[in-house]
Amino acid sequence: MVGSKTNRVVLYVSASLVVILILFAMLRDNAEPITLANATKILENKSVKSVISSQDYIYLKTDKEIYKIASSQVSPKMFTNYEVSIKNSSNIVIYFLFLVLFLGFAALLYRWFQKNEYFNVAKADSGSYGSKQEGSRPIESIKSDVTFDDIGGISDVKSELEEIIDFMKKPKRYKSFGARMPRGVLLVGPPGVGKTMIAKAVANAAGVPFYYQSGASFVQIYVGMGAKRVHELFAAAKNSAPAIIFIDEIDAVGKKRDGQRSDEREATLNQLLTEMDGFENSSGIIVIAATNKIDVLDSALLRAGRFDRRIFVELPTNKERALILSKYLQKVPNEVDVKTIANMTVGFNGASLAALVNEASLLAIRQHDFQVTIDHFDHVKDKVMFGKKKLQILSEMQKRFRVTYQAAKVVCATYYDLPFEKILLSNEKLTPSTDEPLIKHELESRVKMLLAGIVACNIKYNEHASSAKADLDEAKEIILKMIEEYGMGSTLIAKESEKEILINRLYNETKSLLESLQSVIKRVEDVLNERENISKLEVKKYINEVL
């Protein structure tokens, strides 16, 4: 096959020799030398058609042959009846033309070989796909041109990553304190919030090569190809260290192993774990991965020493949406207030906001308007929102219910000191569920937090929204386990009515608590209405002022 490097070299050399021989045959002096007597004879016979003079020879051209005789042997009188042409001995133009032809032929030959090699490789790799496999392409780094200034509303994420950027710029400073670089950073968040752009911005700020791979690119049809691809990726990064490896959608290859089979995906995951364990402190490589399904990842990936840091990238808040919109509107002629648009786009991610600005711009162009106005955004908002999976589109009334619901949850969670940092208006869950052993009062506190939103809405509006389903389902599941599995009822053997008795008791206790903290809930609602997020420390401060 032409794909062999040795074969290619042999073919190139052979082709060059053939061309050189052809040029030699065309350019060599093939005239037949003759004596003065013979030259005089053919001149007298008038069989000479033309005479050409060069610096060294006189060429006599007949119908059949070309003869030459040294210029020193002849005299000008011999050519009285002939027009003598002067031949340029250097033939620079001719040699140049032949050189150009030779180089052109070599270039065409090279392209033909390249094309032939491509089709041969494609044919060999076609399999089920019928085209060149993704895994056969060489892994190359890219130079990121994305900066943190290009991304709006990620101040919290940026502060988490600044230390890593500083480490890659000044490793000696950290090593002098015995600190080691984190091996892996896991970006967790819903689709469209800018996880890939964040990784590119880190690479740009650190000034290091950036290796991008999708988790799906490791999933190959051929056994061993995925593991080989992982090895090649890490080998390429080590050769250009310090560097950043970014694996998008890592859940495609890093799902939990069930232990019942050993397929290609599990072999690829094992290779990834091995490569991350093989890091040396001085390797200068950081793996950044992104996922929106952290709950399906294998526990071996999440342990310390592999992905040491987890950074949660949430949907943007009101203020963050305004910053993102300002970025996208910089090059768009507009007459809009970004705060107004931010208020009408609750639940939009960065990608949705980009699409919204683009659709508004296209509408303005279609209507031959000179600027984008708020009316354009009103017209295209439904178009952008339509069909968005899990995108919370809230009317004014729905937003009021959501604010009250989330305010009650965060107040209850803070009062019982449940683990969380802050709450967002768009959050589905305030605190993650855990499989760790929990004491009875801890489980009851969690149930109260899950019921708090329903309780608060019933107190204030005498009804609650269907969005409470997820929290209610989790509360029921905890109650069921407490009574039937954990033996936390009035007796160790579960009674049919005990689940209803327990959930009603916890509901009433939650109601009593929230009624006593109505002033705190009102203050938290005001904060959520203003900026759509609030921290645990702020809520704790409000509660301490009342109690």
| Distances in whole angstroms, Cα of residue 70 to Cα of each of 32, 34, 81, 87 | 12, 9, 20, 14
Q: How far is residue 316's CA from residue 188's CA, in Å, rounded to a whole number? A: 14
Confidence band for 336, pLDDT divided at 50, 70 and 90? confident
What are the residues whose beta carbons fall under 8 Å from the beta carbon of 192, sequence distance 6 or more?
349, 350, 351, 352
Mean pLDDT of 376-390: 62
What are the residues whose beta carbons fall under 8 Å from the beta carbon of 27, sequence distance 6 or more?
91, 94, 95, 98
Q: How far is residue 313's CA from residue 199's CA, in Å, rounded to a whole number? A: 12
Q: How far is residue 529's CA from residue 171's CA, in Å, rounded to a whole number? A: 43
Which of 271 and 411 is assigned the larger pLDDT?
Answer: 411
Which of 120 and 361 is assigned the larger pLDDT?
Answer: 361
Kindly report, residue by residue over 121-134, the tens digit of the pLDDT: 444 444 433 344 44
Q: How many residues does the chain have?
A: 547
**Residue 90: CA count within 13 A, CB half-sphere:** 3
The least confident of 13-17, 49-53, 244-248, 266-270 is 13-17
Q: How far is residue 259's CA from residue 304's CA, in Å, rounded to a whole number? A: 22
The residue assigned the tokens 């009103």 is: 378
pTM confidence score: 0.51
* pLDDT number for residue 404: 94
Q: Apex CA 324: angle with CA 318 and CA 327, to 5°?
A: 145
Q: Do domains 148-312 and 318-385 have the same CATH topology?
A: no
- With pLDDT > 70 as the criterion, what percentage of the chain qualifies? 74
288 neighbors 237 (Cβ within 8 angstroms): no
Confidence band for 472, pLDDT divided at 50, 70 and 90? very high
Asked whether residue 3 carries a pLDDT value surpassing 50, the answer given is no
* pLDDT number for residue 87: 64
In the numeric block, which tokens belong to residue 386? 């339509």
Q: How far is residue 236's CA from residue 95's CA, in Å, rounded to a whole number? A: 46
Asked whether residue 451 carries a pLDDT value surpassing 90, the answer given is yes
- The amino acid present at 127, given as its one-letter code, is G
* pLDDT number for residue 434: 58
Mean pLDDT of 507-511: 95
What are the residues whose beta carbons fall under 8 Å from the beta carbon of 190, sequence distance 6 or more?
292, 314, 315, 349, 390
Q: How far is residue 72's CA from residue 78's CA, in Å, rounded to a whole number? A: 13
Question: Where along the chain do its domains lie?
Answer: 148-312, 318-385, 396-546
The residue assigned the tokens 């650190």 is: 206
Q: How far is residue 453's CA from residue 455's CA, in Å, rounded to a whole number? A: 5
Answer CATH for 318-385 from 3.10.20.740, 3.40.50.2300, 3.90.1300.10, 1.10.8.60? 1.10.8.60
Using only the alpha carbons of the chain, give its radius of gyration: 40
Asked whether residue 261 carries a pLDDT value surpassing 60, the answer given is no
In the numeric block, which tokens belong to residue 369? 């308007």
- With pLDDT > 90 as the criterion, what percentage of the chain qualifies? 15
Neighbours of 300 (CB within 10 A): 16
**Per-residue 3-state assignment (H helix, E strand, C coil) for 228-255:** HHHHHHHHHHHHCCCEEEEEECHHHCCE
* pLDDT number for residue 303: 77
Q: Apex CA 68: angle with CA 62 and CA 73, to 5°?
A: 125
Query: What b/e string do you get for 18-47 counting C-beta neighbours within 10 Å, with b at 16 or more?
Result: ebeeeeeeeeeeeeeebeeeebeeebeeee
What are the residues whose beta carbons fall under 8 Å from the beta carbon of 222, sequence distance 6 or more?
127, 264
336 neighbors 372 (Cβ within 8 angstroms): yes
Partners of 60 in beta bridges: 51, 67
What are the residues whose beta carbons fall under 8 Å from the beta carbon of 422, sequence distance 6 or more?
533, 534, 535, 536
Classify domain 396-546 at the CATH topology level: Methane Monooxygenase Hydroxylase; Chain G, domain 1 (1.20.58)
The least confident of 282-291, 348-357, 518-527 is 282-291
* pLDDT number for residue 128: 38
* pLDDT number for residue 332: 87
* pLDDT number for residue 526: 93
What are the residues whose beta carbons fall under 8 Å from the beta carbon of 416, sequence distance 6 or more?
445, 448, 449
Partners of 291 in beta bridges: 188
Mean pLDDT of 14-30: 63
Partners of 286 in beta bridges: 244
Please name the CATH architecture into which domain 148-312 falls.
Answer: 3-Layer(aba) Sandwich (3.40)
* pLDDT number for residue 99: 64
Kindly report, residue by residue over 188-208, the tens digit of the pLDDT: 887 777 788 888 888 888 888
